Each structure stands twice: as C-alpha cells, then as structure tokens.
Amino acid sequence: MNRKVPGENTAPKEAGPPHTGTEGGAADEAYEELRTENENLKKASEELNQRCLRLAADFDNFRKRTARQTEENRQFALEKFAVELLEVADNFERALKADDASLREGLESIRKEFTGILEKHGVNPIECVNRDFNPEEHEAVACIPSDHPEGTVVEEFIRGYCMHDKVIRHAKVAVSKGKQ
C-alpha cells in the first residue's frame, strides 16, 4: 500500500537516466562531436569550392587556347596553296628579266595583280639584300667575298616570303664573307 507521507513530493517522476551529477560530460561530448563534424563539413565545402574554381580556370584557359588555335588555323589554312603560288611568282621574276618590251610590260601588269592578291592574304616578300644574315629568314647557299661586311646578304637567288609574320619560305641568298 502506498501511503502518503506528509512533505513528500507527489509529482510524477520523469523518465530518463537517473541524475548522477555528470550530465555535463555527455553533453560536452555531443557538442564536441557536432563541432568537429561542422569543421569537417566546412573543410569539405572549402575543398569543393577550390576544385570548382580550379575547374572554372581550367575551362577558361581551354577556351582561350582553343580560340587562339582556331585563329592560327584560319590564318595559315592557305599556306600550302601560297607556297605553290610562289613558284609562279619566281617564273614571273625570271620572265621580267627578258629583253622584249611588250612582253615585259604584260608580265609587269600580271605581277602587280598577283602580288596584290598575295598581300591581301598576308603573304609578303622578305627583304634581304644589304641586310644582316638572319637564319630564321634566310638560307645561305653561297658565301662570296665582297666589299660588304661579313655576314651581310649580298645577293638574293630566290625570294623568301612570310605569311602573317611566319616565314613560309626562306630566301636563298649569298652572304658576304668580307674582303679577301
């Protein structure tokens, strides 16, 4: 039988573990776990953000590189064709040295038109006579003694050409080896 004792608390007891006076330890452990998990999530988020930024930068670099390559391909698409046309230009140069005046006049007109077309497409001759020998533009086929300083181009056998600042055919030249 349950008897009431005067002064006794009659409120119903709450369910749960009995109070031992160490409840703060369990709460502190749960807090530390949540804090550690939060820090790990922040680190993971920052790593993902950095990966996303690197990926965006890589994509931007790829886009720029592709645009640059496309532009270069466009500029030099006619390079082989232009090199073949240079043979025709060489034949015109040879024919212009002929003595017949009317033939010479007709060929001069054709050469002007032809060089105009080449220039329109970015193909320009390389000037080399009386300039220093440059192996990036010239191909030395002879060394001859002359009054010019050593290393100076003194004669051009076959004209060189560049297309948009790229040499597509080196000039075949004779280079001075100085006085002997």
Same domain, 65 and 97: no
Which of 126, 138, 88 lies closest to 96, judged by CA? 88
Strand partners, 173: 140, 156
Q: What is the pLDDT along the chain (180 residues), one digit of tens a residue?
A: 455 555 555 555 545 455 554 556 788 889 999 999 999 999 999 999 999 999 999 999 999 999 999 988 887 777 777 777 787 787 777 777 777 777 877 788 788 888 888 888 888 999 999 999 999 999 999 999 988 899 999 999 999 999 888 999 999 999 998 776
- The domain of 44 spans 24-75
Pair 168, 86 in one domain: yes
**163/84 Cα distance (integer angstroms):** 13
Q: In the listed set 11, 44, 75, which residue is the last one of a domain according to the structure?
A: 75
pTM recorded for the entire structure: 0.52
What CATH code is carried by the domain that includes residue 98? Answer: 2.30.22.10
Q: Do 150 and 83 belong together in one domain?
A: yes
Residues 48 and 103 in one domain: no
In a shared domain, residues 159 and 96: yes
Residue 157 confidence (pLDDT): 94
Domain limit, last residue, from 75, 99, 117: 75
Statement to judge: residues 54 and 139 lie in one domain: no
Are 101 and 163 in the same domain? yes
For residues 97 and 147, membership in a common domain is answered with yes
122 falls within a domain:
yes
The residue behind tokens 């050409």 is 161
Give 79's contacts (C-beta < 8 A, 6+ positions apart): 163, 168
Q: Is residue 83 part of a domain?
A: yes
Assess whether 170 and 89 both reside in one domain. yes
- 59 & 88 share domain: no
Tell me, yes or no, whether 2 lies in a domain: no
Please tell me whether residues 88 and 62 are part of one structural domain: no
Task: Please tell me the total count of domains within the chain.
Answer: 2
What is the spatial distance between Cα 162 and Cα 152, in angstroms, rounded to a whole number?
20
DSSP-derived secondary structure for 14-61: PPSPPP-S-HHHHHHHHHHHHHHHHHHHHHHHHHHHHHHHHHHHHHHH
Residue 5 lies in a domain: no
